Structure 1
Amino acid sequence: MARLKRSEVEPHEDYGFFGPGSVVWKVWSYPTAPTVGFQRSVVVEELNPPLVAAVDATQGIYQRSRTRYDRTLRYFAMVAFAGSLQVCKAADVLVKVHSKAIGQLPYGGGTYDANDPASQLWIQLTGWHSILYAYEKYGPGKLTPAEEKEYWEACAVAAELQTCSPDDIPRDRDGVRAYFERMRSQLSASPIARQAMNHLLKTEIVLPPVPGWAKPASMAVAKAQRIATIATMPHWMREMAGIRQSRLLDILIVPVMKAAFSLAHLNSRVELRLLGRISPSTVAVIAPIKLGVPPRNEEVLTPAEARSRHGYAKPAEAHLELRARQAARVFGDGEAPSERGLIESQQILGPLS
């Protein structure tokens, strides 16, 4: 990645839904977010049977691991940092993308739908919890009570960009713990879940090719992140998924990662260069924040205000006809779903290959 000049950075049209001084920008802009935090979220998610069924059916994480990671991270970063119009477009097209992720559950019977509010709630909470947990463990430490309250309120705001209801988002740590405890009986380390989790723990799958002399260093970085991510996972979850790691490694990795992330955070350009290695399309989203490029309009909107201004429906109410047609193709006619949404998404979420 070439050196990014401040004058070359395209400003966002506004501050989106959070803005400077928010706890979201504080936590999500720390280098733990796109690395350990994000990896933890996508690994833990796979224990949810409907979610992993959709992941396994598309095979995207296996066939295009790097671009899948890049596009997903870009979306989460957009919600946190991008302008309101850009986020509304992304949330809208994501409903179309998810409309094709429907089918029969491979284990236990029943069906899955990536737009189902329960699945979206699981994604939302595992993502936001993982980003915060990594920040606390390998970053500056715990938030103040006021900051934590603001964080979970912000999570509810972000949920308005999904098909789940913001009313279902817990507003404190106890509520989040209670949610995961309720979900525990519904989780399953099926063969496809174990396969997906172990695949996603291979950090090297999202790193770009390097010359031979740099491969040992690249593999060392990938191994360190894998150890760090596993160290954030509760032991009952590791046992369920058959993931083994000693308690000694759990302890030893903490000072190593804290030092590495602290050093990276000293220089915004270094952070952007490192981000460019794992998620090139996310750089344009976060560069204005890292380099202090103000938006065209210095205002923060609510999702409702943004939808009204830009003409978008709530995600839960969006593209109902398309979703019905997809269901008819898959469950009625036994055909493969249309990839219309996936193709359209490339202009917003990045290329598929």
Structure 2
Amino acid sequence: MTSTVNAPLDFGIFGPDSVTWKVYRCPTSMTVGFTRTALTEMFDPLVVASVAGTGSLRERAADRYDRTLEYAGALVLADSATAAHAADTLMRIHTRITGRDPVTGQAYDPNDPAGQLWIHLTQWQSVLHVYERFGPGRLSAEDDRQYWGECAIAAQFQTIDPADVPRSRAEMRAYYQRVLPDLVVSETAVEHAHLILNGANLALTELPGPLRVVSPLVQWLLRRATIATLPRWMRTAIGSRQGPIVDAGVTAVLRPIMRLAARQPKMLAKKLESSSPRAYAVLAPAILDVSPTTPETVSVQEAFRRAGRLLPREQYLTLATDSGTPAT
């Protein structure tokens, strides 16, 4: 039985007329999109070191996937108060996580702007890439410009310098070229990539009743679909030899399934409730078009002002100044 969905306070930062809602409400985003995001993030040595240090993926991959989806969904689809609270809470948690990457020898800080930028951009690029491959198709030129503009707005929920955020696909490609030499294919990165690929969303593929017998097939399909979106070097890193024929096959099968699911929001919400209960609480109002108490969008700055908190980058710079640590 589906839980009661509470009306949000407002439309959040972007609202139903945004390209962000258009892309993120698609079931491609909540499935292959976030699996690809989480997997790709693991090749930044400091990001994977901080994740490995907590042991969260090794011990509870599905729970971490649910929490990550909850957080990302809160920022783009939930009301402004929920979004600001989620970003502020995660930043406070990150301030307590420190350590040293055994591969590079560098100290890691989950709030570091460079790492935050990598996480933010891999998410927005991955979600869009999967949306266009398995969902409705390529964005129009106008929607594409708006999407990357909204990506820059969303970056304010993190410690990122707004000047570093790409404003187009071309700038996004240039960013990837710049950071590629710094990515590391370590044993830890590969291990965590496999943990995500094989176990992050198992609950999502469990079908009810007699259909349960084909659940492994659904899991195989989503796994292969995720690999189909990866660049060649990343496939090699995880030991996959999947080629263009399988890529084309899973795309042909999954695309109509995703388009059908997009036309069944109640079914999508119900599945999300059983597979990712934490994410369901913040995503369901947007998926089901539940009207907010006040039908307005709110800027990130206003959301934090109402919460009585500085923006994350302002908090980060203040903490760096107080500790005498150079800020980036």
**Aligned residue number for residue 269 of structure 2:** 272
Kept in 1, the 8 Å contact 2:15–2:297? The answer is yes
Q: How many Å apart are 1:16 and its aligned residue?
A: 1.0
Query: Which of 66, 71, 77 matches 2:73?
Result: 77
Change (3 A) 1:291 1:68: same
Given residue 35 of structure 2, which amino acid in structure 1 is its aligned partner? Answer: Q
Query: Which of 149, 154, 158 matches 1:158?
Result: 154
Q: How many Å apart are 1:3 and its aligned residue?
A: 3.2
Given residue 67 of structure 2, which amino acid in structure 1 is its aligned partner? Answer: R
**Aligned residue number for residue 326 of structure 2:** none
- Stretch of structure 1 that moved more, 289-298 or 39-48: 289-298
Instruction: Output the CA distance in 2 between the equivalents of 1:325 and 1:222.
Output: 48
**Aligned residue number for residue 2 of structure 2:** 3
Given residue 84 of structure 1, which amino acid in structure 2 is its aligned partner? Answer: S
Given residue 149 of structure 2, which amino acid in structure 1 is its aligned partner? Answer: E
Kept in 2, the 8 Å contact 1:203–1:223? The answer is no
Gaps of 5+ in 2: 324-328
Kept in 1, the 8 Å contact 2:190–2:237? The answer is no
Kept in 2, the 8 Å contact 1:96–1:322? The answer is no
Instruction: Output the CA distance in 2 between the equivalents of 1:247 and 1:157.
Output: 36
TM-score of the pair, normalised by structure 1: 0.86
- Stretch of structure 1 that moved more, 313-322 or 33-42: 313-322
Instruction: Output the CA distance in 1 between the equivalents of 2:71 and 2:33.
Output: 15
Q: Secondary structure at the match of 2:157?
A: coil
Gaps of 5+ in 1: 327-353
**Aligned residue number for residue 301 of structure 2:** 304
Change (3 A) 1:79 1:197: same
Structure 2 residue 182 is the aligned partner of structure 1 residue 186: yes
User: Aligned Cα RMSD in Å?
Assistant: 2.4
Q: How many Å apart are 1:279 and its aligned residue?
A: 1.3
Change (3 A) 1:274 1:314: same
Q: How many Å apart are 1:243 and its aligned residue?
A: 2.8
**Aligned residue number for residue 41 of structure 1:** 37
Change (3 A) 1:186 1:241: farther
Kept in 2, the 8 Å contact 1:65–1:206? The answer is no
**Aligned residue number for residue 139 of structure 2:** 143
Q: Percent of counterpart pairs with the same letter?
A: 39
- Stretch of structure 1 that moved more, 310-319 or 172-181: 310-319
Q: Secondary structure at the match of 2:14?
A: coil
Kept in 2, the 8 Å contact 1:149–1:172? The answer is yes
Query: Which of 246, 249, 252 matches 2:249?
Result: 252
Structure 2 residue 17 is the aligned partner of structure 1 residue 21: yes
Kept in 2, the 8 Å contact 1:117–1:165? The answer is yes
Q: Secondary structure at the match of 2:27?
A: coil
Q: For residues 267-294 of structure 1, what are the alpha-carbon distances to aligned partners after superposition, in whole Å with 9 as ceiling and x for unaligned?
A: 1101112222331112222222222221
Instruction: Output the CA distance in 2 between the equivalents of 1:148 and 1:248.
Output: 29
Q: How many residues are aligned here?
A: 324
1:1-353 matched pairs, under 5 angstroms: 2-4=1-3, 8-203=4-199, 206-207=202-203, 215-318=212-315
Change (3 A) 1:169 1:323: closer
Instruction: Output the CA distance in 1 between the equivalents of 2:211 and 2:242.
Output: 26
Q: How many Å apart are 1:309 and its aligned residue?
A: 2.4
Change (3 A) 1:204 1:50: closer
Instruction: Output the CA distance in 2 between the equivalents of 1:277 and 1:229.
Output: 22
- Stretch of structure 1 that moved more, 42-51 or 314-323: 314-323
TM-score of the pair, normalised by structure 2: 0.92
